Structure 1
Amino acid sequence: MYQKIEESTCHVASRKMVSNFAMKDEKNLSEMIELAFDIKNELHVKAFWSLDLVCEKKLKQFVPYIEDFCTILPKIKDDSAIRPATKICMFLAKSNHRKNGISLTQEQEHNLIEALIDRLIQDEKVAAKVYAMKALFVLGKKYDWVHDELKSIIEHDYSNHSAAYQAATRNLLKKLNK
C-alpha cells in the first residue's frame, strides 16, 4: 500500500486507483489510514487524497477509525491534507444525520464541530472552508448553537473573502436565515 500511495499523484485517476486498491482489502485500508494519520510523514497528504474517495464510496469502512480521525483532525496543517479531511467531515456529518447512516458519538460530533469551526476562522483555502461550512450546517440541525456560530462567522468574514467563498456562503446564509 505504501508504494501505491508513494507513486500516486493528485490526478483523479491515480487517486481512484489507490482508493479502489484500499477498499478491496481491510489490511490495505488500514495501512492507508495509518499513513494518512501520520502527519509527520510527508506521504500523509497523498494518503488523504485517496482516503476521501474511500469515504465518499464506502464510509462504513471508515467507522472503526473515526475516533482516531477526530484526534488527528485539529493537528493537520498541510493545506493539501486539510481539504480532503474536511471533506471527510462533511461525509461523516451527512451520514450521521441520515436515518440509515453511521452514528457518531456526542463526543465525536463535538470534536468535529470544534475542529471545523477552527478551520473556518483560520486562514484556510476556500474548498476546505466550504466543506467545513456544509458539515457544520448539517451538525447544526442537532445543535442549534452551531447554526448561530456558523452564521456569525460567515457574516463577519464575508467581505474579506474571494468571490468563490462569497458565492458558497450566500446559499448557506439563505438556508440559515429560514
Structure 2
Amino acid sequence: MTSNTLYQELNYVNHSREKRLYYANVLLADTSLIPEVLDILFMVDDKISPRAAWILEFMCGENIEAIIPYLDQLTEHMSKVHLDSAQRPVAKICEYLAKAYYGKEPSKIKQALLSRHHEKIIELCFDFMINDVKVAPKAYAMNTLHLFGKDYDWIYPELVLILERDFHTQSAAFKARARHILKKIKKK
C-alpha cells in the first residue's frame, strides 16, 4: 500500500471500534506502513491526522512493541499534535508505553524506551496537564506521570501541585481521576 493509498483509506476510518481495529490489524500485518501513519499523524492541521492517531492507538493497544522502531519519530514530533481528536490517542499511546515500561510483564519496551523518550513523554504529559485540553488527554497524562514519577523524584510534587490547583475548576471526570492519582501518590 502506498502512502497515497493509505491516506485515502484513512478517509474510511471512523470512531467505530471495528474500523479502528481493522486498520490497526492492517498496520500489525504490514509494519512498514507505520512510518506512513506517523507522517500522516504529524500533518497536524489535516483533518485526516486524528484518524491516523486512532489507528495507531489501537495498534499500540494490540501490540505496543510494534512501535519500538519508531519511538524516536513518535516522541520527537508528538508535541506538535494539537487537534483535540488526535491528542487523546497520543496521550493514550504515552500511557500504553508507561504501563509496558513499568508493568510486571516482560516487555521489549523496558529496554527500548530510553531516557530521551521519557523526557519527551513527560514533557508532553505536563503540557496536557497545564494547557487547555480536554479531560481525556489530561486523565491519560495523569496516569503516565504517576508511573514515571517512580523514577523521577520531581514529578510527584509538580503533579500534586497541578492537580490540587486545578481540582475545583475541572470536570467531574478530572476530579475523579485526580482523587485516584492523589491517593496513590500519598500512599508512597
Give the TM-score normalised by the residue count of structure 1: 0.94
Report what 2:57 is aligned to: 52
2:42 and 2:89 map into 1 onto residues whose CA distance is 12
CA shift for structure 1 position 89: 0.4
Cα deviation digits, residues 89-139 of structure 1 (max 9, x gap):
001111122362203111111111111101100011111100000000000
User: Which of 137, 161, 186 pairs up with 1:177?
Assistant: 186
Distance across 1 between alignment mates of 2:46 and 2:29: 24
Mapping 1:29-178, distance limit 5 Å:
29-98=34-103, 100-101=106-107, 102=109, 103=111, 104-178=113-187
Q: Mean alpha-carbon deviation: is it higher for 6-15 or for 86-95?
A: 6-15
Letter in 2 for 1:32: V
SS of alignment partner, residue 144 of structure 1:
coil
RMSD of aligned Cα (Å): 1.3
Q: In 2, Cα distance between the equivalents of 1:160 and 1:41?
A: 31
Structure 1 window deviating more from structure 2 (83-92 vs 104-113): it is: 104-113
Which 5+ residue runs of structure 2 have no aligned equivalent?
1-5
Could you tell me which residue of structure 2 aligns to residue 2 of structure 1? 7
Matched, 1:20 2:20: no
Return the letter of the residue paired with 1:56: G
CA distance in 2: counterparts of 1:123 and 1:67, whole angstroms = 26
Aligned partner of 2:130: which letter?
A: I
Structure 1 gap segments, 5+ residues each: none
Deviations 1:142-166 (A, max 9, x none): 1111111111110110001011111
1:39 Cα shift?
1.9
TM-score, L = length of structure 2: 0.90
Structure 1 ranges of 4+ moved more than 6 A: none
**Number of residue pairs the alignment of both structures matches:** 178
